[in-house]
Structure 1
Amino acid sequence: MSIEVIKPGLLSSLQDAGRRGFASLGVGRAGAMDQPAWRLANALVGNADGEAALEITLAGPLLRFLQDAVIAVTGGIIEARVEDQPLPPWTSCFLPAGAVLRLGGVHHGCRSYLAVRGGFDCAPVLGSRSADLHARIGPLDGRAIQAGDVLTIGERAAVPWFHSGKQVRALRWGLDPQPWLDYAQAPLALMRGHHYAALDDASQQALFSRPFLISKDSNRTGSRLDGAPLGLRQPLELLSEATLPGTLQLPPSGQPILLQADAPVTGGYPRIGQLAAVDLPRLAQRRPGDAVYFRETGMDEACQRQREREESLRSLLQRTEQRLLSTSPAA
C-alpha cells in the first residue's frame, strides 16, 4: 500500500518520537514537534503509539492514495477534502483506493499531523523514522517530501469501524482539539538558564514582561524571536555547551532563539533560559507573527505539569482505543 505525492505543500516530513540518546555522538532528536497531536493521530487510526506520521507546516500536500486507507489529521486545524467532500479533523476517516486528498492551509496553529493506519514503512535510522532536516538523516535522506515521492504504508488488519467500499467516510465522533491547542496563546513557562544572570537588569525584566514575535525565519531548528533586543552586562567568551529543544539562546543580535526539535546538541551562545518541556507543543503551534510571552517557572512546577499532561494524554489514548473497538461499522 502506498501514497503518491502530487504536490508536497510548504514543508511536510515524516516524524515519530525522535531519536533520543545519541547526543554524545552529535546526533539531535528530531521527531514530531507537537508530540501529543502526533500520538493522538496514531490513536485515531489504531496504530501503535510510535508509528511515524506526516508533519505538515502551514500548507499541506496533495496526495493520491493507491489503496484503501484509514487516516486521521490532528494538530493545527487544516482544510482537508477529497474532491468536493470536506474531511473533519481529529477523527478517523476512510479513503478508497484512488482518492486524492487535498490538504490546504492550516487555519489555526502551525503544524498538522497525518497518520495512516499501518504507519509509514521506511527504514529506521538509529531507532527512529524521523527526518532530521538539519542533519539530513532519516527517511528520504532526511529531507521533506517532494512531488513524485511514493510513501509506502505498512500492512495492518482491516479496521472494525469501517466497511471497505468506494465512498469516503468519517466517524460520527472525534476528539476535542480544544485542550490540545493553545487558542489563548497563554504565556510559556521558562526557567532561568545558566547565563540568565549575565543579562543586564533591563533585559532580565524584559524577558518576563515584554512580548516577542515569532520571526518568519523560524524553522524546525529554532524559533527566532523578534522584539526589543536583550543585552548582557558584559561580553562573554564561551565554549560550546550542551543544548536541547527548549533552550533559549542569545546571539550577538540580541534577538533570542528558542531551539526546536531539530536543535543541534551543542551551541556557543549564552543560554539564558530553558522552556518547560510541557510547553514545547504549544510553541510548535505558534506561527510567524504570533506573539510569545514568557512567565518564570521552576523545575518542580515544570515537572509536575509534565506529569499531569502525560497522565491526561495516556487516559485519552486508552479511551480512544476502547471507543474505536466498540464503534459499529460506518455505513
Structure 2
Amino acid sequence: MIEILTSHAFNTVQDHGRRGARHLGVSMSGAMDPVALEAGNALLANDRDAAGIEIQTFPFRLRFLSDTAFALTGADHESTLAGSSVRPWWCTRAKAGDILAIETPRRGARVYATFGGGIDVPRVLGSRSTHLRAGFGGFDGRTLQAGDVVPIGSTQGKSDGRFDFGVAPPDVAIAGAASAEDRVLRIRVMRAGEYDLFSEAMQTTFWSTTWKISARSDRGGYRLTGGNLTLDAPVEMRSHGVVAGVVQVPPAGEPIIQMSDANTAGGYPKMAAVIEADLWRLGQAPPGSFIAFSEVSYQAAVAAMAPVNDYLAKLRATADLYRAL
C-alpha cells in the first residue's frame, strides 16, 4: 500500500480507459498520456492496462507502506525517494517508510507513477479509471487527497529481478513523432465531417494559426485561443458521437479539442481530428503552450501508430531482459 501525503487538485487513478460504455453516456476517461502509462507498466512487468496515478498538480508526495517497485514516466521532472534523486523514465525499489516527492515538471504536464502490481481499486464498467463528473471509478470516484491509503496489487511472482534502470522517453525514441519547433508543438490531424462547411478563408486560418491552449482547459477538453473560425451562416446540427481528439468549433469560433474526459456526444461542427499517434503528445501540453496543426491522410494516420507500438513492444522486451540480468 501507499499513503498519500500531499496532493493538490486533479491527481487521479487512471488506466487506459473505460471502453465499450459510450452507449451508456459514459466517457472513456483514462490516461491523458497512455504511452507514458503503458511504458511505466512495461518497466515493472505489469499488465499494459494496470492502473497508475496521473499527477498533474504539484508537489506530490506519498509514503510507501511496504517494499514496492515503482516507475516514474511522463513529463520531465525532478523527484526524490528518501531524499535521493530518482530520474524520470526510471524504475526502482522503495522500502517501507520511504517518501517519494515529485516536483513541478520542467517540461510536459503530467507525471505517471506506476507500481508493481498496479493500483488495486475496483473495476467499474471494466476500468479502474476515475470518472470525476460521475463520481465513480478510481479511488472512491474522486481526486487523491492527503491521508488516502491506496492499495497495490499482487505482483504474482514478478517482483524478482532487477528494478533499477530506465529507458529513453518516446519523444526521443520514436521516429516521426509530432515535433516541437520554436516551442510550437505540431500536431497531425485529419479533416473531420464538417470541415467543408467552413470557408476557404476559415480553413486557411485553421492551418496557419499558432493556437494557444487556454487556462480554461482540462481533461475534458483543450480550449484554443489565437483565432476565430466562423461559419458564413449558422448551422443547426443534431448531437453526434465524439471521441478524444475531435476538434469542435462552438459558435464563438474558438476550437475545442476533446480529450480523455470528453462528453460522448456533442452538436458543434467538427473541423478536424487529432490522430491517435499524437494524442499522447497533446496530453503532455500544458495550458499556456502553443500548438499548430498539420494535415495527414487516413493512411498516414494509421501508419503513424506503428512506431509507437514498436517503441512499447521493444521497451517491454528490453525491460524483461534487463530484469533477468
| Aligned-partner residue type, residue 161 of structure 1 | G
Partner of 1:297: 296
Contact 2:247 2:274 in 1 (8 A): yes
Contact 1:10 1:60 in 2 (8 A): no
1:114–1:183 Cα change, 3 Å: farther
Partner of 2:167: 175
1:134–1:200 Cα change, 3 Å: farther
The structural deviation recorded for 1:229 is 1.1
Q: Secondary structure at the match of 1:295?
A: strand
Superimposed CA distance per residue, residues 180-205 of structure 1 (whole angstroms, 9 cap, x where no aligned partner): 68672541111111111111222100
Partner of 1:329: none
C-alpha distance in structure 2 between counterparts of 1:11 and 1:42, whole Å: 21
Partner of 1:254: 253
Contact 1:134 1:221 in 2 (8 A): no
Q: Secondary structure at the match of 2:119?
A: coil
Contact 1:7 1:61 in 2 (8 A): yes
| Aligned-partner residue type, residue 307 of structure 1 | A
Partner of 2:75: 76
The structural deviation recorded for 1:210 is 1.1
TM-score (norm 2): 0.93
Superimposed CA distance per residue, residues 246-299 of structure 1 (whole angstroms, 9 cap, x where no aligned partner): 010111221100000111110011111111111100100111111110011121
The structural deviation recorded for 1:148 is 1.5
Superimposed CA distance per residue, residues 40-59 of structure 1 (whole angstroms, 9 cap, x where no aligned partner): 10111221212101011142
Gaps of 5+ in 2: none
| Aligned-partner residue type, residue 128 of structure 1 | S
- Is 1:204 the counterpart of 2:196? The answer is no
Partner of 1:234: 233
Contact 1:12 1:60 in 2 (8 A): no
Runs of at least 4 residues off by over 3 Å: 180-183
| Aligned-partner residue type, residue 229 of structure 1 | N
Partner of 1:167: none
Q: Secondary structure at the match of 1:37?
A: helix
| Aligned-partner residue type, residue 211 of structure 2 | F
Partner of 2:190: 191
| Aligned-partner residue type, residue 36 of structure 1 | V
| Aligned-partner residue type, residue 161 of structure 2 | W
Superimposed CA distance per residue, residues 20-44 of structure 1 (whole angstroms, 9 cap, x where no aligned partner): 1111111111111111110110111
| Aligned-partner residue type, residue 85 of structure 1 | S
Alignment of 1:276-291 (within 5 A): 276-291=275-290
Partner of 2:63: 64
- Give the number of equivalent residue pairs: 317
Contact 2:7 2:57 in 1 (8 A): no
Q: Which moved more, 1:216-225 or 1:142-151?
A: 142-151
Contact 1:248 1:259 in 2 (8 A): yes
Alignment of 1:1-331 (within 5 A): 2-156=1-155, 157=157, 159-162=159-162, 171=164, 173-177=165-169, 178-179=172-173, 184=180, 185-326=184-325
Identity of aligned residues (%): 34
C-alpha distance in structure 2 between counterparts of 1:51 and 1:3, whole Å: 16
Contact 1:9 1:62 in 2 (8 A): no
